[in-house]
């Protein structure tokens, strides 16, 4: 009989809390993402190498490739962090007696949206000219669909696989993506664009989504 494995007190956590090792990996991945965006913005995606990203972070290239399969995929943590805030964290505060559009409208009006991250805005703008980055952006949104579907299914009492739930989740997801892209492109030359302007973009996109298909 094998002895019981010793408890690693440096990484032991309570239920649902990431371990210390997981938090460190997440922080490293976010550092990599920010340096990748900085280099992509300053010298272009094509001219940027994995070696340069690794050197900017202070890690080996081998370590970089352990975390990401391609240089373009290095930006993914920045995108998923923003999507997590907009979908998971935000919608979990959705009151049971409020319609989704009413809740999101009130959130926009009262400054409850996450602030726009300049690095993410730079990245979103690049997705319009860099197909590989576009693929990462779209994949991040596709992955967020399951979170939205779970939340809407829980509220409606339906299954996350229900067609109406999936369509509604895709509608909200698409509205948030369109709003982010609209804000990033329209205010590309305005470094002082406010969170109110971001909220206005989100509100307009959600209003359009709520109209259904009026064609």
- State in words which class domain 75-210 has: mainly alpha
The reported pLDDT for the residue numbered 90 is 67
Is residue 142 classed as helix, strand or coil in its secondary structure? helix
The reported pLDDT for the residue numbered 13 is 46
pTM above 0.85, yes or no: no
Count Cβ atoms below 10 Å from residue 130 Cβ, excluding itself: 18
And the tokens for 72? 């373009």
* Domain boundaries along the sequence of the chain: 20-71, 75-210
Segment 11-44, tens digit of pLDDT: 444 556 778 888 999 999 999 999 999 999 999 9
And the tokens for 21? 């090792």
Section 136-159 average pLDDT:
91
What CATH number was assigned to the domain covering residues 20-71? 1.10.10.60
- Residue 156 or 162, more confident: 162
Contacts of 204 (CB under 8 A, 6+ apart): 179
CB 172 within 8 A of CB 209: yes
Segment 169-209, tens digit of pLDDT: 999 899 989 999 999 998 887 767 777 888 888 889 988 99
Q: What is the mean pLDDT of the chain?
A: 85
């Amino acid at each position: 009989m094998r002895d019981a494995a010793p408890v690693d007190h440096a990484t032991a956590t309570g239920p649902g809390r990431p371990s210390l090792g997981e938090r460190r990996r997440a922080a490293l991945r976010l550092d990599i993402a920010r340096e990748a965006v900085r280099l992509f913005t300053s010298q272009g995606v094509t001219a940027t190498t994995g070696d340069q990203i690794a050197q900017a972070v202070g890690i080996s290239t081998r370590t970089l490739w352990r975390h990401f399969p391609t240089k373009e995929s290095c930006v993914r943590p920045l995108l998923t962090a923003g999507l997590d805030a907009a979908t998971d964290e935000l919608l979990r505060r959705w009151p049971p007696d409020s319609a989704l559009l009413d809740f999101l409208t009130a959130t926009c009006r009262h400054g409850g949206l996450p602030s726009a991250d300049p690095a993410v805005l730079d990245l979103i703008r690049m997705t319009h000219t860099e197909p590989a980055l576009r693929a990462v952006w779209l994949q991040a949104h596709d992955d967020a669909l399951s979170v939205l579907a779970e939340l809407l299914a829980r509220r409606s009492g339906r299954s996350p696989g229900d067609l109406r739930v999936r369509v509604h989740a895709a509608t909200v997801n698409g509205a948030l993506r369109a709003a982010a892209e609209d804000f990033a492109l329209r205010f590309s030359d305005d470094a002082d664009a406010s969170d109110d302007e971001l909220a206005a973009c989100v509100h307009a996109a959600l209003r359009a989504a709520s109209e259904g298909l009026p064609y």
